Structure formats: structure tokens, C-alpha cells
Structure 1
Amino acid sequence: MKKSLTLIPFLLIGLFSCNNETDEQGPLPSISNYTIEGGEHESHERLSDEGEEPELEMGGEAHIDAEMGGQNLKTVLLDIHWGEGHTHRTMSSETDTAWTAKIQWNFGEEGGLTPAGVFPNNHDFHEHIEIPEMIDGKHVKEGEYHFVLYLWDQDGNETQKALTAHIHGHEEGEEEAK
């Protein structure tokens, strides 16, 4: 009986002791109101985390918007890749190739999203991305593409949000009408 009573304090100490590596790092960064809208060649269809896929046109622009929050935001990365059929590998043939792009923006540096040394807690992100028609002499493959937006803060905390857009070439007769 004495042995079992002596074990109880050790069990309680083990149960309530905490690991020093679990320091609170603050809340995760957040991405809200993430949207993609076609540029001037488009009918201004808008894709959001609540809407449907827009039709983006090769040779046009995609306007990327998002509200970002967190503590001391550091880096934004936009990863664009082929997404049809939920495959995340580049699909290509002799005549076309899938478009992939990784575009990074930084806070707190000269030429970045904010001036050197400024790491905001909130940021209204707005960027224009050109959609290529050709890559290395091949036409860009039409279809669904994922636009994955990543956000990191100074502590290395990360969040991400993904949208899918349908990218197509110029419609015949469309050029003549413009």
C-alpha cells in the first residue's frame, strides 16, 4: 500500500509537467476574402473562396486580392500549377505545356510589400499576374489551375488558401471583335 501511495505523486508530476518547447507563438496568420479576377481582356469574372471558377484568358491578367492578418507578417508566396484531375505534376506534350509559377513577395525590405523594417499585422494584398500564352515555344495548356496563396509571419507560422481557375486561349472571332 505504501508503494502505491508513493507512486501517486510521481504520476501527478509527470501528468502535469509541461514541455518547455511548447511556448506560445501567437495566432496563426490568416488569409480572408481571397479572390482572383480576370484582367482587362476578361468579362471581370471573380473567383473567391465562396464563388465559382472564373474563365481567365491566356495573354491576359489575373488580379489577386486577399486580406492578410497576423503578427509581424513576413512572406507571401503564390504557387500556380496545373490542377485538372487533382494531379499536381506538370502535364505537357509536344505542342503544349502546363503553366507553373512561384511568385514571392516579402514584407519589411526595400522593394517589398512594405518599406524596410516594416512588418505589418494587417495587409490588403493586391497583385496583377500575367498569364502566358507560350512557354519555351509551346502553347500553355488550357484547363484548371490551382492558385495556392501562402502567408508566413516572423515566427515561421504559416497558413494557406487555394482557389481553382479555368484558363483558356483566345476564342476565335474574339480578337476581331476587339
Structure 2
Amino acid sequence: HFNYTAGQINTLPKRLNHLYQRIKYYQKSLAKKRTVNGKRATKSNNYVKTRAKLQRDYRKVANIQHDIMQKFTTQLVEEYDKIIIEDLAVKEMQMTHVASKGLQRSMFGYFRQILSYKCDWYDKKLILADKCYPSTQRCSKCGHIKTGEEKVGLNGNLKYGTKHNEYICYECGSVMDRDENAVYNLLALIN
């Protein structure tokens, strides 16, 4: 089995990172113009030009993201007969400030939609793990499920002082990457 983890998908084209920086710059520029000039700002030629540049860059980002997503999902369905993904509660996750921007950029809803129709098209099996399935809290070695203060969250585990990306089982003592542990738990659903 070969598994795609979050770390392997995170490498973005340099062009996309450059566009993210430009978008950030244009957003700040427009915000300054609105702060200084109020409602009159939207009527100025410079404001209109900057807004047009911002919208152009949004379109470019969307095109690059859609292209990456199409190629990646095609590669997945061509290489694997069974694919399993978590059915994440995307709306709820976007409410947390820490995960919001990354989740929006990951386009998980769009990814799931494309992967679903491509699996149907290529006659492959897509398995959705229930959003309540404790893939990040369950030990893939012994099956112990963390609850209460033992849970690992976005900030790690405050009680035990662990980082968000490491998984330590307090039953069997296994130490591994949190994403790797989650992948093994999801693979167990395939069998």
C-alpha cells in the first residue's frame, strides 16, 4: 500500500505561493484605501484598478487549484482500486481560526466531489470514513481510543505536552506521526 498523507500533498507550485502573497498585498492595499477614504475610496480609479488586479489573481489561483485537483484525483483513481477518505465536517472546521485558511485552500469539498465522480467513472471504490470515526485519536497498534484530556487537538495535548503532529499511545507506548497513525486506522476500514 502507498498512502498519500497531508505532508505529501502540501507542496504547492511556486506560482501559487506567489499569487497568495500578491492577493494578500492587494487586500491590504484596498483595506487601507477604505480606511483612509471611507465610502469615497470605491469610486477612485486606483481602487477600481487594484480591485480588478485582485479579482484577476483570484481567478488565476482558482484555475491553478482546479488543475492540480483534476490531475491529482485522476492519478489516484488510475493507481488504486479502493480509496478511503474521511467525511470531514468542513463547515464546523472552518469556524476555528487555526484551520480555516488551510482548509479553504485545500478545497476538501471540491476534492471529494471530483473523486466521487471519477471513482464512479473508472469503476473504483470510494469509502467514506464517518466523521465520528476516531482516526486521529485511536492507536493503530493496540486500538486504544483517547478521550477527554488525553485527546490530541490542533494545539497538541496540553496535559502531556505533545505536539499536534505526534501521536503517543498511553496504553502501549507507541510513538508515531499523527497523520501516519490516522492513515493506518483508515486502512483498517478497507479490509
State TM-score, norm by structure 1: 0.21
* Structure whose alpha-carbon radius of gyration is higher: 1
Q: Give the number of the structure whose residues are more often helix, by fraction.
A: 2
Q: Give the number of the structure whose residues are more often strand, by fraction.
A: 1
State TM-score, norm by structure 2: 0.20
Higher relative contact order structure (alpha carbons within 8 Å, sequence separation ≥ 6)? 1
